[in-house]
Chain A
């Protein structure tokens, strides 16, 4: 190669390299923009969830809070009158506010309640005390004084508060005791007694946040304190209802875009119903799933409200189109891949429309189901929603059952379903096919005489000799009756005709929208979060498994080459003594001889002992320290059944 040629090649390659670099820079900047977009979409989603949760909480508690406010108003005026008549007022108004055990939601509940009381009553102070601040009377009154802005020199008591407000009209003090079952009963009853005794000088109302029952309070507090209280019960909405409201508003709403897959949805529901009962925690899980989805899914830039998603789709590059074309749902459903942003926009529009209509249809299914003798899809809307996510509802036996029941629904119920469906479609927006079917049925029901009988075609008399003859046995009779029934199968009245027509139309619409699981529809990967295992591990960390893993294979955490093991069950001298002790422990029976255990452990650590010149006493001390650690972890316990033995606990690792 001559120099010129070489230099020419070099120049070209340089140019190419520069182009490549520019391309790379452009790609990176594009990616950065998309990442920013995804992050912004997540922030918007998260804020939206928080806002909806807050609004729901307000709506949920509004009725009960209004009742509480009314009660406080009445009690305040009554006590005021009593103070004017009598010198010694000792009755303490106590509001037992049943909040349920969903502790994570209590913070918001009490914040709203406190704010509402302060807003309603001009001259009012609210004091929130949680159980961990009420360990002693001193701590209780100190906290109370701090929140009321009462200064004190050494120890705070109710007298301190009395003296503070002695010169002025005392304000109404609402003391909110959150999670009051956790408060020490002695402190609690004394506190109530003290507060009741000061009612002549102060206006105090106690609000107890209880998770169990007012009966429980009655059982816990001694009569001395209980007799001073005028207890009224108020109840918050049950946690399960609250969740249903949240699901209706956020997850199952026709406008919601980010979705959990069937398994994720089921897992989150099981977690809620089996473990925590907290909607705030449920929302946190939903947000975490969204965060993971937006962070890891390159196509999630389109997981936004309809208009924004379409806008984002208009500016997609080739790289993103490739990414979208590689989605399994797109590969399976389309013969030709999406080649331009315009095609993507059309596909997304189709998806949004399809999803919206499916949800409306699901609502219609639930609505009709409520008039049937049996809730075939399950009593709750979340059940049918969950099934629609992961299975083709149209192909299910339940749907067959549903359509059969619908075909034989009585007149009143059918008319009611049509009317309600019509109202639902009015609210939900466009769904032309279903709307026209409903309107048509409705119109016929209103205009035609639905009880009128339709002229039946003449039934042909059986010609054959065999058919003519009288049945000889039950089987023949059954056969004859069946054949007659088949001949009479057609509608007999106008109502039956309308019902049959509508059922057929409804079935066709359902076939179109419910023939496929929603999470498998084209482009579903953009909107659905599928990683159930990941969210499970992150949100409900398996602490026991983690401890076991770390004890079995410390290399995973220490990254020390010496501790690397070829097999998780084997051991070596370089492992920490607690790991060696644990590995031996797992190989033993339910009763462990400590002396044998020590010998085995020392045997393994023998080399280290010689290398580092460790004394036997030190080795023993290290071993017992390890045993003590394992005992602290709850793996073993001392026993008196055998000398020098320890026992494995039932729920050990």
Chain B
């Protein structure tokens, strides 16, 4: 299996590097990549614990400034070496970090591994610090430091400093279906029989594995659904071997759970509309019309006397429906003009504009132009057709008769 090969590879390198009688020099960096929930961190921690080396952990997703990284790095090594010396004050430069690291390693005499979790974020966001870190062998003597980059992104997709030595690369593959099944079987509670749990896992794998391969999510589903699945058996109404009867009972619940799988939410309210003031609803409808109708059709829909419609049609190939392309950008002038037309009001008070701002904040309408463009921002409607239809229905607005490519 790839996983085993990968584990063996990492293990071999680490063992050779750290435990040999005449140790070969440590590789400056190891890059381990794999998708979320594939067990990279677990694998590395297990190997490092088996070998029994000193490890420091740095969580890169918490780091938002180089200084924080330097502090976390030194702090990690300080803990890994078990030094009793007082932590030095770290400045906002890599030299300060390397000086402190070298002092700690000099007193320790053993190699130290530093595992950087979510290294993809670190390499992307902290480029100065990452450039310095990947060249640590230039600043730390005797090659007694090895940095393990644990990343969710493959090595060729990250911005790894060109001037640095390429690390030893490992790619941890995803768990196979069988492996997932084996891991899930270990979740069996003591009061559930083997047969029942086996049937349950089979049902889960058959129903949910198609939607997600994420082990964490599947574990969550197992925890959530097991009591419901086992209830008829515990009641005594159904035998634990009658898998088909149990399946019939659980199937509707599974269907609902799959619908809200990534939300991990049990409650699903179907026909619910967001509570919005009357004019906000009309602003949303106006924005939807502005997004999905071409500007040239505004005259036809929103003017009382639009004049005669041209019957002549030019053939320029098949027309593509706007709803398939997505929302168009529109200016605020156009939005307000449509709004005034559909509400038949001339209420241009500041409250309308403030409501528009609220809709932007709620992300129901998005600003398509840059933030610096304050005078004529371009907007876009961010609502689905179903949502707008519900909103229009609540204010008794016939949306269909105002949409250009409704048919």
Q: Give A residues with C-beta under 8 Å from B.
A: 88, 90-91, 96, 100-101, 103, 136-138, 154-155, 157-159, 179, 181-182, 190, 193-194, 197, 211-216, 218, 220, 223-224, 226-233, 238-240, 272-277, 540-544, 631-632, 634, 637, 649-651
Q: Does B132 contact A (CB under 8 A)?
A: no
CB neighbours of A179 from chain B (8 A): 361
Instruction: For the complex, give the distance between the alpha carbons of A442 and B280 in Å.
Output: 49
Q: Mark each residue of chain B from 29 to 54: 1 if its CB lies under 8 Å from any CB of chain A, else 0.
A: 00000001100011000000000000
> Known interface pairs A276-B277, A544-B348. Does A650 touch B333 (Cβ–Cβ under 8 Å)?
yes
Instruction: For the complex, give the distance between the alpha carbons of A239 and B275 in Å.
Output: 8
CB neighbours of B99 from chain A (8 A): none
Q: Mark each residue of chain B from 45 to 88: 1 if its CB lies under 8 Å from any CB of chain A, else 0.
A: 00000000000000101111101100110000000000000000
Instruction: For the complex, give the distance between the alpha carbons of A190 and B262 in Å.
Output: 17
CB-based closest 4 A-B pairs: A650-B333, A274-B278, A137-B64, A651-B336
Q: Does B279 contact A (CB under 8 A)?
A: yes
A546 to chain B, nearest CB (A): 10
Q: Mark each residue of chain B from 167 to 184: 1 if its CB lies under 8 Å from any CB of chain A, else 0.
A: 000000000000000000
Question: What is the total number of residues of chain B having a CB less than 8 Å from a CB of chain A?
Answer: 52
11 contacts between A and B (CB under 8 A): A88-B41, A155-B67, A155-B68, A157-B68, A194-B62, A213-B272, A216-B363, A218-B263, A277-B275, A540-B349, A631-B375
Assess the B351–A540 pair: CB atoms within 8 A.
Answer: yes
Interface residues of B in 318-344 (CB under 8 A from A): 332-334, 336-337, 340
Contact of B276 among A103, A158, A215, A277 (CB under 8 A): A277
Assess the B350–A158 pair: CB atoms within 8 A.
Answer: no
> Known interface pairs A239-B275, A274-B279. Does A190 touch B61 (Cβ–Cβ under 8 Å)?
yes
> Known interface pairs A223-B262, A543-B350. Does A159 touch B62 (Cβ–Cβ under 8 Å)?
yes
In this complex, what residue of B is CB-closest to A632?
B375
Assess the B358–A214 pair: CB atoms within 8 A.
Answer: no
Assess the A238–B265 pair: CB atoms within 8 A.
Answer: no
Instruction: For the complex, give the distance between the alpha carbons of A240 and B64 in Å.
Output: 43
**Inter-chain CB contacts under 8 Å: number:** 130
A411 to chain B, nearest CB (A): 36
> Known interface pairs A101-B276, A650-B333, A650-B336. Does A227 touch B36 (Cβ–Cβ under 8 Å)?
yes
Contact of B351 among A103, A230, A275 (CB under 8 A): A275
Assess the B274–A213 pair: CB atoms within 8 A.
Answer: yes
In this complex, what residue of A is CB-closest to B267?
A233
Assess the A544–B349 pair: CB atoms within 8 A.
Answer: yes
Q: Does B362 contact A (CB under 8 A)?
A: yes
In this complex, what residue of A is CB-closest to B36?
A224
CB neighbours of B263 from chain A (8 A): 214-215, 218, 226, 231
CB neighbours of B363 from chain A (8 A): 181, 212, 216, 220
Instruction: For the complex, give the distance between the alpha carbons of A231 and B224 in Å.
Output: 13
CB neighbours of B332 from chain A (8 A): 651
CB neighbours of B36 from chain A (8 A): 224, 227
In this complex, what residue of B is CB-closest to A651?
B336
> Known interface pairs A157-B62, A197-B59. Does A230 touch B355 (Cβ–Cβ under 8 Å)?
no
Contact of A101 among B62, B275, B278, B349 (CB under 8 A): B275
Assess the A91–B64 pair: CB atoms within 8 A.
Answer: no
CB neighbours of A214 from chain B (8 A): 263, 265
Instruction: For the complex, give the distance between the alpha carbons of A96 and B217 in Å.
Output: 19
Assess the B351–A231 pair: CB atoms within 8 A.
Answer: no
Interface residues of B in 212-229 (CB under 8 A from A): 214, 216-217, 220
> Known interface pairs A155-B65, A181-B361, A230-B220. Does A273 touch B265 (Cβ–Cβ under 8 Å)?
no
CB neighbours of A632 from chain B (8 A): 375
B73 to chain A, nearest CB (A): 12
CB neighbours of B65 from chain A (8 A): 138, 155
In this complex, what residue of B is CB-closest to A218?
B263
Assess the B61–A194 pair: CB atoms within 8 A.
Answer: yes
CB neighbours of A230 from chain B (8 A): 220, 264
CB neighbours of A231 from chain B (8 A): 263-265
CB neighbours of B68 from chain A (8 A): 154-155, 157
Q: Mark each residue of chain B from 132 to 165: 1 if its CB lies under 8 Å from any CB of chain A, else 0.
A: 0000000000000000000010000000000000
A492 to chain B, nearest CB (A): 43
B222 to chain A, nearest CB (A): 13
Instruction: For the complex, give the distance between the alpha carbons of A275 and B343 in Å.
Output: 14
B81 to chain A, nearest CB (A): 18
Given contacts A212-B274, A223-B262, 10 further A-B contacts (CB under 8 A): A103-B358, A157-B68, A182-B361, A194-B59, A228-B216, A232-B267, A277-B276, A632-B375, A637-B375, A651-B336
Q: Mark each residue of chain B from 186 to 226: 1 if its CB lies under 8 Å from any CB of chain A, else 0.
A: 00000000000000000000000000001011001000000
Assess the B265–A275 pair: CB atoms within 8 A.
Answer: no
Assess the A275–B64 pair: CB atoms within 8 A.
Answer: no
> Known interface pairs A101-B362, A544-B350. Does A275 touch B62 (Cβ–Cβ under 8 Å)?
no
In this complex, what residue of A is CB-closest to B117?
A197
A8 to chain B, nearest CB (A): 69
In this complex, what residue of A is CB-closest to B364?
A212
In this complex, what residue of A is CB-closest to B333?
A650
CB neighbours of B362 from chain A (8 A): 101, 181-182, 211-212, 216
B35 to chain A, nearest CB (A): 10
In this complex, what residue of B is CB-closest to A197?
B59
Q: Does B266 contact A (CB under 8 A)?
A: yes
A376 to chain B, nearest CB (A): 21
In this complex, what residue of B is CB-closest to A271?
B351
Assess the B376–A637 pair: CB atoms within 8 A.
Answer: yes
CB neighbours of A103 from chain B (8 A): 358
In this complex, what residue of B is CB-closest to A182?
B361
